[in-house]
């Protein structure tokens, strides 16, 4: 069995977008995870979800890996982007759109605009 850091590295490199969260993209288990998964789902982003509640080593390991104390954590092209507050700010400012475009990640631009309009 590989250690948590190795498993995390393999996972964040295995998909363009990875969300470490409590629960799954279809059934989030906390409000913060639900918000980030909801944004990604609404924007039509194809992402891999990792339920940290299924594995205590991963739950602590992801915090150590990113040096970020909270979950959820979003990774794009293997790079840590941020948690719920950062993803919310990036969504509302359009920075998340820019990141997806630069990274070649497909998303629904109209949905992103609707999120911004609803929060204006």
The CATH number given to whatever domain includes residue 102 is: 3.40.30.10
Q: What's residue 120's pLDDT? A: 85
What is the pLDDT averaged over residues 109-120?
95
Using a pLDDT cut of 70, give the percent of the chain over it.
Answer: 98
What is the pLDDT averaged over residues 65-92?
97
Q: How far apart are CA 42 and CA 52, in angstroms?
A: 22
Parent domain of 10: 4-118
pLDDT band at 79 (very low <50, low <70, confident <90, very high): very high
30 is in an annotated binding site: yes
* Cβ-proximal residues to 106 (8 Å cutoff; 6+ apart), any chain: 44, 45, 46, 100
What is the pLDDT averaged over residues 24-28?
96
Name the domain count of the chain.
1
Nearest to 88 by CA among 38, 52, 13: 38
Instruction: Cite the DSSP H helix spans in 15-108.
Output: 31-42, 56-66, 84-93, 95-103
Q: What's residue 2's pLDDT? A: 65
pLDDT for residue 28 is more than 70 = yes
């Amino acid at each position: 069995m590989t250690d948590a850091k190795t498993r995390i590295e393999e996972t964040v490199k295995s998909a363009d977008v990875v969300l470490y969260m409590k629960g799954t993209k279809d059934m989030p288990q906390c409000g913060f995870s639900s918000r980030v998964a909801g944004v990604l789902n609404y924007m039509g982003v194809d992402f891999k979800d990792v339920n940290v509640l299924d594995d205590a080593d991963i739950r602590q390991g992801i915090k150590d890996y990113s040096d970020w104390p909270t979950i959820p954590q979003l990774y794009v092209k293997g790079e840590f982007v941020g948690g719920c507050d950062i993803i919310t700010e990036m969504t509302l400012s359009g920075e998340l759109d820019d990141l997806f475009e630069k990274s070649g990640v497909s998303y629904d631009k109209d949905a992103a605009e609707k999120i911004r309009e609803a929060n204006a």
